[in-house]
Structure 1
Amino acid sequence: MDEPTSSIDVFSQNQILELLKKLKGGFNLTYILISHDLSVVKSMADKIAIMYLGKVVEYGPAKEVFKNPVHPYTNALFKAIPNADTKDINSIIALEGDVPSAINIPSGCRFHTRCPVALEICHKKEPPIIKLSEEHEAVCFLLEKSKKKKKKERIYHEKINF
């Protein structure tokens, strides 16, 4: 389903979403839901794939990704949407930088032209897929560095705590 509740009033949106949930449970259905409305995604999805310029940058169980977004784009996307829980307006992120053309995709990481934490390597190479848990993964060189650092720290602690 592509944007099943766009351009519909909130009352009708809720009715449609409740019907879809009821059908999903009653008939053991699986939906592929495409939406820019993160509240719809959060209420409907078991798993979520965040895409940037046609490439998945983060994937995993929806609850885990919403609770712990790790890719810089996912973080920015989630923080760009104000909600009732947002106490500090300064915590909302507005992405800066050049929005690349979908026809002329940049080399390296597709997000590097707008990424607030881009490394030099991001401009040259596509980042690897980093497995964060059994089902949660993302593509980012910072995650690779962080994972290597944690592994080194774990090995160090194992050696000194033998």
Structure 2
Amino acid sequence: MSAPSDGIDLAAEAAGLPGVTASSVETTPEGIVVQLVAPGTTPAIDYRHLLLATIGVGTPLTVLLVDELTNLSAALDAPRPAHRRSTYVAPGSDIEAFVCATVAEAVELKQVGVEDDLFDLAADSLVLIELTTAVTERYGVQLDVQDVFEAGTVGRIAALVTAGAPS
């Protein structure tokens, strides 16, 4: 199966990712779902970013790390720890878009989604400081670095900004 209409063979790209021994690519109404059998320790979010670099940011993409390829429904329904599943969720507000863009730039990725976890993105204390500074400059909201760390996901951080923003 090919990626969106630009002729990229996403199945071949997925199969060629480091550490991947088997892959499957399916298109659903919600976007592209990629199953990868990759016995190493690379988290799903890293594979998602590698694939997005190929197919372009903004593409709804879910990457599932599986022990063996299975039908799509079973793969999507199976409980999976966060490091074995990564779905891009686009920002739904200007604040979410700003936080996503700021985090993406700080961790040097092309795209970060609302449900992406700071830990999975390898965000360190310098990233958190950069983010809190950018939020203060843009929205006048002072966020505590510990609160940002505890929020965990980009979407929850955006919610902290929204809660602290003047009406």
The TM-score bracket by the shorter chain reads 0.3 to 0.5
Which has the greater radius of gyration?
Answer: 1
What is the TM-score with the length of structure 2 in the denominator?
Answer: 0.32
What is the TM-score with the length of structure 1 in the denominator?
Answer: 0.33
